[in-house]
Amino acid sequence: MAKYIIKRILAAIPMVLIITVICFALMNLAPYDAIDAMTTPNMSPETVALIKAKYGYDQPVYIQYIRWLDGLINGNFGYSIVTHQSISADLAIRIPNTIKLILPAYLLAYALAIVLGLIAGSHKNKWADKLIDGICAIGIALPTFWVSMLLIYFLGYKLNVLPIVGMHTIGQENSMIDYLRHFLMPFIALFLSFLPDATRYVRSSTITQYSEDYVMVQQAFGASKAEIMFKHVCKNVLLPIITKLGMALPMLVTGAIITETIFGWPGVGPYFVKAIQGMDYPIVMVILVLSSTLVILGNLLSDILYCLTDPRIKDLG
């Protein structure tokens, strides 16, 4: 098993490296670069050359790449070409904000999805299943941004019960109630966007488990429905879900780009969208590398968890 895990880790490293190369290449191919942002057309060629030398842009491309990669590894992500602020410092503020929003929404959505999915899956083609599955089908078709707009209209404007933008009211940064009032709407929007997919996943794996032979054996031995459900099916359904949580890792950074942008939540979303609109390549590339690395790490984590929890995989070696 250790061999399998090491093999998976070794396979992940070149993937991350290739992604950094792609990113760097994109940054170099971009029609407008950091030098254009720092210089103005009426600067003398000497000044431009000086600025180039200062930031290392006079070096050959592969040296620039190695320096950039070295920076990434040491946590120095470079500087925004629009605001000239350190990207790592910005992200250090924004990522925790995003996590504060996504983690509760994701966990609650999964908790409810497990309940609904188990109910639907164990009552296949009965009314409860049809109802839950039907709601999921509609839920999947709902664009998050539209749900957010409707929430803003009804809760924000019509009923005027919740603030529509930001994370705190100015002057009330330490008030928990104020924070929760700001938190509620983006939380609901995200929760609703996670729920249908998760429910369908739990439902289909429940259905698969119910068609396994062990269920029939239990039925033949006269086990009650509750016994089959909680002693056997539940275990087999929940295990892959716990391991699947590893795949949620990248969501913690880029899982709420749209929702955060609409509600002006000061997380990674608006930062990223603003960088895209302002052609702020360094930020865009850092987020690209960061989120893809997290995807690869997340998949790795869930493979390892799976391998640790499911004894059948042990002899894959």
Which residues lie near other proteins (CB under 8 A)?
A: 15, 18-19, 22, 26, 29-31, 124-125, 133-134, 137-138, 140-146, 149-150, 152-153, 157, 200, 204, 207, 250, 254, 257-258, 261-262, 272-273, 276-277, 279, 281, 284, 287-288, 291-292, 295-296, 299
The tokens 């008030």 sit on which residue? 175
Task: Find out whether 184 and 205 touch, Cβ atoms under 8 Å.
Answer: no
Helices (H) and strands (E) counted in the chain, each on its own, are 15, 0
Least CB distance from residue 291 to other proteins, whole Å? 5
Least CB distance from residue 18 to other proteins, whole Å? 6
Nearest alpha-carbon partner for 281 in 94, 68, 17, 73: 68
Q: Both tokens of residue 70?
A: 């070295």
Which C-beta is closer to other proteins: that of 53 or that of 216? 216
Least CB distance from residue 185 to other proteins, whole Å? 14
Which C-beta is closer to other proteins: that of 51 or that of 247? 247
Which C-beta is closer to other proteins: that of 101 or that of 262? 262
Q: Both tokens of residue 203?
A: 């439902």
Beta-ladder partners of 86: 79
Q: Both tokens of residue 143?
A: 């664009």
Which C-beta is closer to other proteins: that of 106 or that of 281? 281
Least CB distance from residue 7 to other proteins, whole Å? 15
Residue 86 φ/ψ, nearest 5 degrees: -70, 130
Least CB distance from residue 130 to other proteins, whole Å? 8
**For residue 163, what is the DSSP state?**
-
Which C-beta is closer to other proteins: that of 19 or that of 223? 19
Least CB distance from residue 258 to other proteins, whole Å? 6
Least CB distance from residue 42 to other proteins, whole Å? 27
Which C-beta is closer to other proteins: that of 144 or that of 243? 144
Question: Residue 196: exposed, middle, or buried by beta-carbon count in 10 A (0-12, 13-18, 19+)?
Answer: buried
Nearest alpha-carbon partner for 229 in 120, 108, 71: 120
Give the other-Cβ count within 10 Å of 150's Cβ: 12
Q: Amino acid identity of 170?
A: I
Q: Give helix 2-29 / helix 61-73 axis angle, nearest 10°.
A: 130
Which C-beta is closer to other proteins: that of 153 or that of 230? 153
